[in-house]
């Protein structure tokens, strides 16, 4: 795996936001957060979903962003000021497995691309969430769940998906029930009610403007980090030829490019 560089990762979050924001706003809308409610964005990163969450709960509502990494929280703080959300949003450093909150502190918990993506300790984590949720409160877990981003190269895309990097954080040795698509079962086991899973898709069809092109290229880069090392030499060269920003055959510059990806919203209600 390539070394983790938080600054480079933040840049990718911003570059991909023109594609991510409209989709994730639709997910927030579907979540139906009560006006005036108090919620937690668990693993908020630089806070890109906080404006949508704050808008949904209205001026009387409160959103707390929590992340384990101080450098992301500092950036989130600058964003919150820039967006003028100061009094309605607070930020705190914390670990989702041991969050610094009292029992029943929130009406809902939102976690995008963080909680339950890795299913190492699903029950422990879901029990923690139940503890800090009000009875009747909603748990909303959002995870990237599928994509077709390399039109015309289904074999290459399937090979990339079958690499360890393409499957991570799941591994071929993990029991099947530890894959995030099995989250509904774990939510039920943890005692959540009205468990449901709903996919949301984002299509990307040429022609598109520069920010969408750059967002698409960034999503392709983020999807299979380091996977090319697991490919055959021929596949590696092909992958580079269609994804290298300097290549004349760059796939995102095809005049007839079409691709899509999905996130799934997993949800459950804490019993009253």
Ligand X SMILES: C[S@@+](CC[C@H](N)C(=O)[O-])C[C@H]1O[C@@H](n2cnc3c(N)ncnc32)[C@H](O)[C@@H]1O
Among 67, 105, 107, 228, binds ligand X (CB under 6 A): 67
Strand partners, 205: 258
In the bound state, the residue with its beta carbon closest to ligand X is: 45
How many angstroms separate the CA atoms of 42 and 36, rounded? 19
Check binding of 53 to ligand X (CB under 6 A): no
How many angstroms separate the CA atoms of 78 and 144, rounded? 26
Check binding of 69 to ligand X (CB under 6 A): yes
Nearest alpha-carbon partner for 114 in 209, 32, 43: 43
Nearer to ligand X, 49 or 243 (CB): 49
**Could you tell me if 225 and 2 are in contact, meaning their C-beta atoms sit under 8 angstroms apart?**
yes
Residue 172 CB, nearest distance to ligand X (Å)? 23
Tokens of 233: 């030499």
Among 19, 89, 91, 112, binds ligand X (CB under 6 A): 112
Check binding of 113 to ligand X (CB under 6 A): yes
Nearer to ligand X, 46 or 149 (CB): 46
Among 18, 43, 51, 52, binds ligand X (CB under 6 A): 43
Residue 70 CB, nearest distance to ligand X (Å)? 10
**Could you tell me if 183 and 264 are in contact, meaning their C-beta atoms sit under 8 angstroms apart?**
no
Tokens of 60: 């009387």
User: In the chain, what are the helix, strand and coil shares in percent, each to the nearest 5?
Assistant: 45, 25, 30
How many angstroms separate the CA atoms of 158 and 161, rounded? 5
Nearest alpha-carbon partner for 2 in 162, 227, 156: 227
Among 96, 128, 139, 156, binds ligand X (CB under 6 A): 96
Check binding of 44 to ligand X (CB under 6 A): yes
Nearer to ligand X, 67 or 228 (CB): 67
Q: How many C-beta atoms surround the C-beta of residue 223 within 10 A?
A: 18
Residue 40 CB, nearest distance to ligand X (Å)? 11
Nearer to ligand X, 113 or 262 (CB): 113
Stretch of residues binding ligand X (CB under 6 A), selected from 31-39, 92-100, 186-194, 225-233: 92-100
- Is residue 73 classed as helix, strand or coil in its secondary structure? helix
- Convert residues 13-42 into a mask of x (bound to ligand X by CB under 6 A) and - (unbound): x-----------------------------
Stretch of residues binding ligand X (CB under 6 A), selected from 78-86, 95-103, 247-255, 257-265: 95-103
How many angstroms separate the CA atoms of 90 and 98, rounded? 18
Binding site for ligand X (CB under 6 A): 13, 43-45, 48-49, 67-69, 72, 95-97, 112-114
């Amino acid at each position: 795996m390539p070394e983790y560089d938080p600054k480079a990762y933040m840049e990718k979050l911003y570059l991909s936001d023109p594609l991510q924001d409209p989709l994730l706003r639709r997910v927030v809308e579907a979540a139906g957060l009560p006006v005036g409610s108090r919620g937690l964005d668990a693993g908020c990163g630089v806070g890109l979903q906080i404006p949508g969450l704050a808008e949904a709960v209205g001026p009387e509502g409160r959103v707390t962003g929590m992340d384990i990494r101080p450098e992301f929280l500092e950036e989130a703080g600058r964003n919150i000021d820039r967006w003028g959300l100061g009094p309605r949003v607070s930020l705190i450093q914390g670990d989702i497995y041991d969050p610094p909150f009292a029992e029943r502190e929130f009406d809902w918990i939102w976690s995008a691309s963080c909680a339950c993506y890795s299913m190492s300790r699903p029950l422990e984590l879901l029990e923690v969430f139940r503890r800090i949720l009000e009875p009747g409160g909603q748990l909303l877990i959002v995870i990237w769940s599928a994509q077709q981003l390399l039109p015309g190269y289904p074999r290459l895309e399937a090979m990339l998906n079958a690499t360890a990097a393409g499957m991570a954080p799941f591994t071929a040795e993990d029991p099947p029930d530890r894959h995030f698509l099995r989250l509904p079962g774990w939510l039920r086991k943890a005692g959540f009610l009205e468990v449901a899973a709903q996919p949301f898709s984002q299509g990307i069809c040429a022609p598109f403007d520069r920010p969408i092109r750059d967002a698409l290229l960034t999503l392709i880069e983020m999807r299979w980090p380091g996977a090319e090392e697991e490919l055959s030499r021929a596949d590696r060269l092909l992958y580079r030829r269609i994804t290298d920003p300097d290549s004349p055959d760059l796939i995102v510059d095809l005049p007839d490019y079409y691709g899509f990806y999905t996130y799934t919203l997993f949800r459950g209600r804490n019993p009253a």
